[in-house]
Structure 1
Amino acid sequence: MLYTPLSEADIFPCSDKEFSNRQCISYQGKQLYVEQLDDGSYQILQLLSTDPQDFMDAAYTPGTILR
Protein backbone atom coordinates (compact mmCIF):
# COMPACT_ATOMS: atom_id res chain seq x y z
CA MET A 1 0.00 0.00 0.00
CA LEU A 2 1.09 3.50 -0.76
CA TYR A 3 -0.09 6.36 1.43
CA THR A 4 0.48 9.41 -0.74
CA PRO A 5 -1.38 12.52 -1.95
CA LEU A 6 -0.35 11.69 -5.53
CA SER A 7 -2.79 10.15 -7.94
CA GLU A 8 -2.34 6.63 -9.26
CA ALA A 9 -1.46 8.03 -12.70
CA ASP A 10 1.42 10.05 -11.20
CA ILE A 11 2.90 7.00 -9.49
CA PHE A 12 2.28 4.50 -12.28
CA PRO A 13 2.42 6.46 -15.53
CA CYS A 14 0.95 4.95 -18.66
CA SER A 15 3.96 5.63 -20.86
CA ASP A 16 7.17 7.65 -21.02
CA LYS A 17 5.74 9.63 -23.95
CA GLU A 18 3.35 11.44 -21.60
CA PHE A 19 6.28 12.82 -19.59
CA SER A 20 8.64 13.60 -22.47
CA ASN A 21 7.24 17.13 -22.83
CA ARG A 22 7.49 17.98 -19.09
CA GLN A 23 10.47 19.79 -17.61
CA CYS A 24 11.67 22.15 -14.89
CA ILE A 25 12.34 25.71 -16.00
CA SER A 26 13.31 29.00 -14.41
CA TYR A 27 10.76 31.75 -15.11
CA GLN A 28 11.12 35.24 -13.59
CA GLY A 29 13.48 33.82 -10.96
CA LYS A 30 11.09 31.03 -9.91
CA GLN A 31 11.49 27.30 -10.54
CA LEU A 32 8.47 25.80 -12.29
CA TYR A 33 7.54 22.29 -13.39
CA VAL A 34 5.82 22.79 -16.75
CA GLU A 35 4.40 20.90 -19.70
CA GLN A 36 5.14 22.11 -23.22
CA LEU A 37 2.01 22.41 -25.34
CA ASP A 38 1.68 21.80 -29.08
CA ASP A 39 1.86 25.53 -29.90
CA GLY A 40 5.22 25.91 -28.09
CA SER A 41 3.84 27.60 -24.98
CA TYR A 42 4.11 26.11 -21.49
CA GLN A 43 1.44 25.24 -18.95
CA ILE A 44 2.41 25.43 -15.28
CA LEU A 45 1.99 22.12 -13.45
CA GLN A 46 3.74 23.00 -10.20
CA LEU A 47 5.59 25.86 -8.52
CA LEU A 48 8.79 24.70 -6.81
CA SER A 49 9.54 27.19 -4.05
CA THR A 50 10.21 27.41 -0.34
CA ASP A 51 8.82 30.95 -0.09
CA PRO A 52 5.14 30.93 0.99
CA GLN A 53 4.58 34.34 -0.68
CA ASP A 54 5.32 32.80 -4.10
CA PHE A 55 2.21 30.63 -3.77
CA MET A 56 0.03 33.71 -3.22
CA ASP A 57 1.00 35.14 -6.62
CA ALA A 58 -1.69 34.25 -9.20
CA ALA A 59 0.93 34.34 -11.98
CA TYR A 60 2.26 30.97 -10.78
CA THR A 61 -1.07 29.17 -10.39
CA PRO A 62 -1.11 25.63 -11.88
CA GLY A 63 -2.83 25.68 -15.24
CA THR A 64 -1.51 29.14 -16.19
CA ILE A 65 -0.19 29.32 -19.75
CA LEU A 66 3.25 30.92 -20.27
CA ARG A 67 3.88 32.28 -23.76
Structure 2
Amino acid sequence: MILYTPLSEADIFPQSTDSLTNRQCVTYNGRTMYVEQTSDGSYQLLQLISTDPKDFLDDTYLPGTILN
Protein backbone atom coordinates (compact mmCIF):
# COMPACT_ATOMS: atom_id res chain seq x y z
CA MET A 1 0.00 0.00 0.00
CA ILE A 2 1.32 3.48 -0.89
CA LEU A 3 0.29 6.53 1.10
CA TYR A 4 0.84 9.90 -0.56
CA THR A 5 1.01 12.21 2.46
CA PRO A 6 3.31 14.89 3.94
CA LEU A 7 3.10 13.11 7.30
CA SER A 8 5.91 10.92 8.55
CA GLU A 9 5.51 7.19 9.08
CA ALA A 10 5.60 7.68 12.87
CA ASP A 11 2.61 10.05 12.66
CA ILE A 12 0.53 7.58 10.68
CA PHE A 13 1.58 4.47 12.62
CA PRO A 14 2.52 5.64 16.15
CA GLN A 15 4.51 3.21 18.29
CA SER A 16 2.99 4.21 21.61
CA THR A 17 0.84 7.06 22.86
CA ASP A 18 2.89 7.60 26.06
CA SER A 19 5.72 9.47 24.31
CA LEU A 20 3.31 11.72 22.37
CA THR A 21 1.65 13.44 25.33
CA ASN A 22 3.48 16.77 24.88
CA ARG A 23 3.08 16.81 21.09
CA GLN A 24 0.31 18.62 19.31
CA CYS A 25 -0.64 19.89 15.89
CA VAL A 26 -0.97 23.70 15.82
CA THR A 27 -1.30 26.53 13.33
CA TYR A 28 1.37 29.23 13.73
CA ASN A 29 1.56 32.20 11.34
CA GLY A 30 -0.85 30.44 9.00
CA ARG A 31 1.26 27.27 8.78
CA THR A 32 0.37 23.89 10.24
CA MET A 33 3.07 22.14 12.25
CA TYR A 34 3.72 19.56 14.94
CA VAL A 35 5.25 21.02 18.08
CA GLU A 36 6.31 19.67 21.46
CA GLN A 37 5.91 21.66 24.65
CA THR A 38 9.15 22.05 26.59
CA SER A 39 9.53 22.29 30.36
CA ASP A 40 9.73 26.11 30.33
CA GLY A 41 6.39 26.45 28.50
CA SER A 42 7.71 27.29 25.03
CA TYR A 43 7.21 25.06 22.00
CA GLN A 44 9.82 23.30 19.87
CA LEU A 45 9.01 22.75 16.21
CA LEU A 46 9.12 19.07 15.28
CA GLN A 47 7.67 19.01 11.78
CA LEU A 48 6.28 21.53 9.32
CA ILE A 49 3.24 20.32 7.38
CA SER A 50 2.81 22.25 4.15
CA THR A 51 2.30 21.74 0.45
CA ASP A 52 4.06 25.02 -0.41
CA PRO A 53 7.78 24.44 -1.15
CA LYS A 54 8.59 28.03 -0.14
CA ASP A 55 7.61 27.27 3.45
CA PHE A 56 10.43 24.72 3.73
CA LEU A 57 13.01 27.29 2.53
CA ASP A 58 12.10 29.73 5.31
CA ASP A 59 14.62 29.49 8.19
CA THR A 60 11.87 30.44 10.66
CA TYR A 61 10.32 26.98 10.35
CA LEU A 62 13.35 24.72 10.68
CA PRO A 63 12.86 21.61 12.87
CA GLY A 64 14.18 22.28 16.35
CA THR A 65 13.25 25.97 16.30
CA ILE A 66 11.86 27.28 19.60
CA LEU A 67 8.52 29.11 19.21
CA ASN A 68 7.34 31.54 21.89
TM-score (norm 1): 0.77
Find the aligned partners of 2:14 and 2:30 in 1 and give their Cα distance.
31
1:48 alignment partner in structure 2 = 49
Runs of 4+ in 1 over 6 A off after TM superposition: none
Runs of at least 5 residues in structure 2 that lack an aligned partner in the other structure: 1-7
Q: Which runs of 5+ in 1 are unaligned?
A: none
Partner of 1:38: 39
**Distance (whole Å) between structure 1 residues aligned to residue 40 and residue 19 of structure 2:** 16
% identical equivalent positions? 54
Q: How many correspondences in the alignment?
A: 59
Over the aligned positions, Cα root-mean-square deviation in angstroms equals: 1.7
1:52-63 equivalent positions in 2, closer than 5 A: 52-63=53-64
